[in-house]
Chain A
Amino acid sequence: VTEPTIRTTPTWLDGLWATLLGVPDLWLVLDSPRCMAELLVESGAEDHAWRQRLLRLDGHDRVFSTDLSISKVDLGETAAMLARIAALAREGTRPGAILVSEMAPARVIGNDLAALSREVEAATGVATRVVEHLSLTRDGLDAYGAAGAALARAMPDAALAGDRDSVAVVGLMADRAEADALADARELRALVGSLGVDVSAVWTSCEPVAALAAAGSSRRIVALPCGREAALTIAARSGAEVLEANLPVGLDGTARWLRAVGAWLGRDREAERAVEAGLAGAVPLVAPLVPSVFAGRRIAVVAEPALAAGLCGWLAELGVRVEGPIVRCRRAEGIPAGLATAGDVRGFDPSVESLTRWMSRLIEDGPLDLVVGSSREREVLRSFDTPFLELGYPSIHYRPLRDAPRVGFAGAVHLAERLANRLAETRYERLVRRHARGEGRG
Chain B
Amino acid sequence: VARKVREERGGRILTHDNVVSEGPLAHLDNRWAPFLSGALGNGEAGIDPAGVNLCGYFTADAPARAEVEALLAAVGVRVRGVAFPYVDPASVAALASASLWVVSPWAVVEKGLGAAVDGLGLKALRTPGPFGMDGTRRWVDAIATALGLPPLDAGRFESLVRPWQAAWEGVRARLAGRSAALVAPGAHLAEALGPAFFYGLDPVALLRDLGLRVFLVPTGQPGDACKDPGAIPDGVELILPAPGEPVSGTLRRAGCDLVYSDYATDARVLAAGAMPFGVRDLEPGPGGAVRTGQRILARCGTPFFRSYGHLVEGGGP
Contacts and interface: CB of A to CB of B under 8 A. Distances in A.
Interface stretch (A67-75, A98-106, A136-144, A311-319): A311-319
Contacts of B298: 295-296, 319, 321
Interface in A265-300: 279-280, 283-284, 286-288, 290-292, 294-296
A51 interface: no
B311 A280 contact: yes
A316 B308 contact: no
B307 A284 contact: no
B313 A284 contact: yes
A442 B304 contact: no
A442 B61 CA distance: 8
Interface in B299-316: 299, 301-305, 307-308, 311-313
A439 interface: yes
A292 B265 contact: yes
Contacts of A286: 304
A385 to B, nearest CB: 20
B265 A279 contact: no
Among B59, B276, B301, B311, the one with the most A-chain Cβ atoms within 10 Å of its Cβ is B311
Interface string B91-133: 0000000000000000000000000000000000000000000
Contacts of A207: none
A87 B62 CA distance: 74
B226 interface: no
Nearest to B302: A319
B60 interface: yes
Contact of A442 (B86, B275, B301): B86
Interface in B259-316: 264-265, 267, 270, 275-276, 294-295, 298-299, 301-305, 307-308, 311-313
A291 B303 contact: no
Interface in A416-442: 439-442
A287 B61 contact: no
B311 A283 contact: yes
A287 B20 contact: no
Interface residues of B, number: 29
A251 interface: yes
Nearest to B266: A291
Contact of B299 (A251, A291, A441, A442): A291
Contact of B276 (A284, A291, A317, A318): A291
Contacts of B311: 279-280, 283-284, 287
A288 B304 CA distance: 11
A280 B312 CA distance: 8
A79 B185 CA distance: 88
A287 B303 contact: no
B58 interface: yes
Nearest to B18: A441
A295 B277 CA distance: 10
B257 to A, nearest CB: 12
Nearest to B313: A284
Contacts of A317: 303-304, 307
A442 B308 contact: no
A318 B61 contact: no
A279 B275 CA distance: 19
The SS class assigned to the B binding surface is loop
A252 interface: yes
Contacts of B62: 442
Given A284-B313, A291-B264, A316-B303, A251 B308 contact: yes
Given A291-B270, A292-B265, A442 B60 contact: yes
B218 interface: no
Contacts of A287: 265, 267, 270, 304-305, 308, 311-312
Nearest to A319: B302
A288 B61 contact: no
A296 B295 contact: yes
A317 B294 CA distance: 18
Contact of A283 (B86, B299, B302, B308): B308
B135 interface: no
Q: Among B294, B302, B305, which residue has the most Cβ atoms of chain A within 10 A?
A: B302
B264 A441 contact: no
Interface string A25-43: 0000000000000000000
Nearest to B275: A291
Nearest to A441: B20
A286 B18 CA distance: 37
B265 A288 contact: yes
B203 interface: no
A282 to B, nearest CB: 9
Of A283, A291, A292, A321, the most chain B CB neighbours within 10 A belong to A291
Ranked 10 nearest A-B pairs via Cβ: A442-B59, A319-B302, A296-B298, A283-B311, A288-B265, A283-B308, A292-B264, A295-B302, A290-B304, A284-B313
Given A317-B307, A442-B59, A442-B85, 20 more contacts: A283-B308, A283-B311, A283-B312, A284-B313, A286-B304, A287-B267, A287-B305, A287-B311, A291-B265, A291-B299, A295-B275, A295-B299, A296-B298, A296-B302, A316-B303, A317-B303, A317-B304, A318-B302, A319-B304, A442-B60
26 contacts: A251-B307, A279-B311, A283-B311, A284-B312, A287-B270, A287-B305, A287-B308, A288-B265, A290-B270, A290-B275, A290-B304, A290-B305, A291-B270, A291-B275, A291-B276, A294-B302, A295-B299, A317-B303, A317-B304, A319-B302, A439-B61, A441-B59, A441-B61, A442-B59, A442-B60, A442-B61
